[in-house]
Structure 1
Amino acid sequence: MTDDAYLFLVDDPATPLGAPVTAVGDLACLETPAVRAWLDAHGVTAASPGVRLLPPEETGSIPDRSEKVPVPLSDEELNQLRHALAPGALARVEEELLAYRDCAGERDALLVRAMAAGIPPHRIVELTGEDARTVASVAAQGQGRPSESGARQQ
């Protein structure tokens, strides 16, 4: 896994892989000389439908033959990208996870709902700031399985 997001090209704009850059919003990296040169070299603009963007944790799904370039994104830009990729229900649960940082109420229920919604544990850890073992323990309890420690961590 890389720490950079990637801009890449898809042959068919109907391909569901990645987010169109226009769906993510204004990105500072689009003004860098490296990205501008990459776009120019491929005869596209950031608004072209075949130009897509994926966050660092998903760049492994970019086809090997695709033209791609790494781009650094701020935390806010990464959140915008992830929201552009998430279907509506997932985006709402992710918003709750972000709000979770400001309050500790109903932690276990929220973590179980996030897992049930299909949000990967690593993403829950990023959004909540919780320890990965805590997320795994609560998820196991929410699925009716005993956790490794046998006790609920708070």
Structure 2
Amino acid sequence: MTDDAYLFLLDDASARLGVAPAAVGELACMETPAVRAWLDAQGSTPASPHLRLLPPEETAAIPEGAERLPVPLSDEELSRVRHRMAPEPLARVEEELLAYRDCADGWDGLIGRALAAGVAPHRIVELTGVDPATVNAAANR
């Protein structure tokens, strides 16, 4: 596993791998000279349907031989990438977890639903800011 996310180009734009950077919103790395030069060298643009982005824990899925570039993402940018990649049921629960930051009422049920839906405990901690021990206790109930 690497600490960097990766931009990469897919031959088949219809493949469901990674997320289009444009779908994530503004990313600081997209404005860097390194990314702009890489895109120019590939004959691509930030809006290309072939351009995709994967978080560090998913980069092993990049097809062998695909053009790729490691890019640093802020914690907030990385959270948005992960959220866009989540399947719809998980994405809805993740939205609730993000909203949880603003209220503490009913956290027990929400964390239980998130765990039951398959959201990883470390992701719940990342989204809510809840103490990892609290999430682990809920997971062990």
Please indicate, yes or no, whether the TM-score normalized by the shorter chain is above 0.5: yes
Q: After TM superposition, list the pairs within 5 Å mapping 1:95-134 onto structure 2.
A: 95-134=95-134
User: Runs in 1 of length 4+ with deviation above 4 angstroms?
Assistant: none
Separation (CA, whole Å) in 1 of partners of 2:68 and 2:137: 38
Please list the CA deviations of residues 112-149 of structure 1 after superposition, one character each: whole Å capped at 9, or x if unmatched.
111122212221121122333432331221xxxxxxxx
- Aligned-residue offset at 1:50: 1.1
TM-score by length of 1: 0.79
Question: Which of these two proteins has the greater Rg computed from alpha carbons?
Answer: 1
Structure 1 gap segments, 5+ residues each: 142-154
Sequence identity, in percent?
Answer: 67
Letter in structure 1 aligned against 2:18? G
TM-score by length of 2: 0.86
Specify the alignment match of 2:81 in structure 1.
81
Q: Does 1:11 align with 2:11?
A: yes
Moved more, 14-23 or 90-99: 90-99
Separation (CA, whole Å) in 2 of partners of 1:121 and 1:35: 33
Separation (CA, whole Å) in 2 of partners of 1:98 and 1:25: 17
Please list the CA deviations of residues 6-54 of structure 1 after superposition, one character each: whole Å capped at 9, or x if unmatched.
1011121111110012211222211111111111121111111111011
Structure with the larger RCO, 1 or 2 (CA within 8 Å, 6+ apart): 2
Specify the alignment match of 1:23 in structure 2.
23
Separation (CA, whole Å) in 1 of partners of 2:60 and 2:120: 15
Letter in structure 2 aligned against 1:43? G
- Aligned-residue offset at 1:64: 3.6
CA gap 1:64/1:133 in 2 versus in 1, 3 angstroms: farther
